[in-house]
Amino acid sequence: MSTSYIHERAKKWTAADVPDQTGRTAVVTGASGGLGLETARILAEHGARVVLACRDRPKAKEATARIHATVPGADVAVVRLDLASQASVRTAAGELGSAVDGIDLLINNGGVMEPPYEQTEDGFELTFATNHLGHFALTALLLGRLRERPGSRIVTVSSEGHTRGSINFDDLQFERGYDPDGAYSQSKLANLMFTYELDRRLRAAGAQTRALACHPGIVLTDLYKTRSTLERAPLNPWLRPLNFRFVQSVRMGALPTLRAATDPSARGGEFYGPGRSRGYTGHPVRVESIPRSHDTDAQRRLWRESERLTGVTYPV
């Protein structure tokens, strides 16, 4: 099953279409490399103050230098954030809350893909803890800062892999048998269900903050580090003349995130992804996720379970 596409007449959306972000603050998780770094760099290029929320502080400092190399004078800050640790999420949220006047963009980008089975310090399966529960808690803790800014947005990066996902409420932590692809697909489906439920709650509360989702298509980043050399080989950028139909560059892969975050025409609850080759490549367009991502009963059940597991309560 693949994502369906909503045809648009508009011209191809590129980084040049990002509006001026001067005076705005963007927090990007997992921004030490890959899609997160490119997203942060382009936002900085358009005037935003960017906060790189990353687990590895030395890598985050390297990322800061890379941004400054192409955007001299960019306003870049670093906050340590390990999404797999609820304690780290709370510490990072506290630092962010005191370091900025308000947050205009929260880009929930960080994640892991198909690691070996591991339980976090909180007793959660690593993939679900990092990709969903970490962002669920972080968003709740920062929502007050987001609601202070009219037009603020929360953008959560999902994946085309959500099409293979299902939410196993009887075994969310894969304690009865671990399937790396199943765990990843479940977490990416959870990203979408969280986004749709969050946006519905924000609207019901009369908030001006909106929640959107996106997926980058297929991009060779550090997410693939658990794959073998043979599995990564077809995605190599050096093979662009051969793999261009199903693999795209980091710069192109960041565009769905940027469009969801900054396009004035984007609306809460929308999902953006590449518009070509079954969603693998192309300029970002509005896309439609699989039907089970829109199951409102399942969304609410996942929400309640996520609040129970993380201990956070949303003010909407």
115-133 pLDDT, tens per residue? 999 999 999 999 999 999 9
Question: Token pair of 201, please?
Answer: 């709650």
The reported pLDDT for the residue numbered 299 is 98
pLDDT at 26 over 60: yes
In the three-class reduction of DSSP (H, G, I as helix; E, B as strand; rest coil), residue 118 is classed as coil
Indicate whether 131 belongs to any domain. yes
pLDDT at 230 over 60: no
pLDDT at 239 over 80: no
- Report whether 199 contacts 268 (CB < 8 A): yes
Q: Quote the CA–CA distance of 290 and 293 in Å, as a whole number.
A: 6
Q: Quote the CA–CA distance of 242 and 249 in Å, as a whole number.
A: 14
- Report whether 53 contacts 76 (CB < 8 A): no
The reported pLDDT for the residue numbered 279 is 74
Indicate whether 314 belongs to any domain. no
- The pLDDT-based confidence of 232 (bands split at 50, 70, 90) is very low
The reported pLDDT for the residue numbered 5 is 63
* For range 137-157, the mean pLDDT: 97
The reported pLDDT for the residue numbered 161 is 95
The reported pLDDT for the residue numbered 199 is 98
Residue with tokens 């997410």: 223
* For range 98-119, the mean pLDDT: 96
pLDDT digits (tens, 9 = 90+) for 275-314: 976 778 999 999 999 999 999 999 999 999 999 999 999 9
* For range 84-101, the mean pLDDT: 96
Torsion-angle region of 168 (φ positive above 0: left; ψ -120 to 50: alpha; else: beta): beta
> What's the predicted TM-score (pTM) here?
0.91
The side-by-side arrangement of strands in the sheet containing 49-54 is 4-5, 281-288, 271-276, 210-214, 153-157, 105-108, 25-29, 49-54, 76-80
Q: Which domain holds residue 80?
A: 4-308
Task: Show the CA angle centred on residue 71, arms to residues 50 and 249, nearest 5°.
Answer: 85
- Report whether 275 contacts 11 (CB < 8 A): no
Question: Token pair of 112, please?
Answer: 């892991």
Q: How many domains in the chain?
A: 1
Indicate whether 207 belongs to any domain. yes
The question of whether 272 is a catalytic residue gets the answer no
The reported pLDDT for the residue numbered 6 is 65
Indicate whether 51 belongs to any domain. yes
Q: State the CATH number of the domain containing residue 83.
A: 3.40.50.720
State whether the Cα torsion 25-48-281-114 is positive or negative.
negative
Catalytic: which of 117, 184, 272, 314? 184
Distances (CA, A) of 270 to 172, 193, 196, 263, 266: 26, 12, 8, 12, 7
**Long-range contacts (CB closer than 8 Å, 24 or more residues apart) made by 72-75:** 74/44, 74/45, 74/50, 75/44, 75/48, 75/49, 75/50
Beta pairing class for 281-288 and 105-108:
unpaired
pLDDT digits (tens, 9 = 90+) for 43-56: 999 999 999 999 99
pLDDT at 138 over 50: yes
pLDDT digits (tens, 9 = 90+) for 176-198: 999 999 999 999 999 999 999 99
The reported pLDDT for the residue numbered 240 is 47
Question: Token pair of 79, please?
Answer: 């906050």
The reported pLDDT for the residue numbered 33 is 96
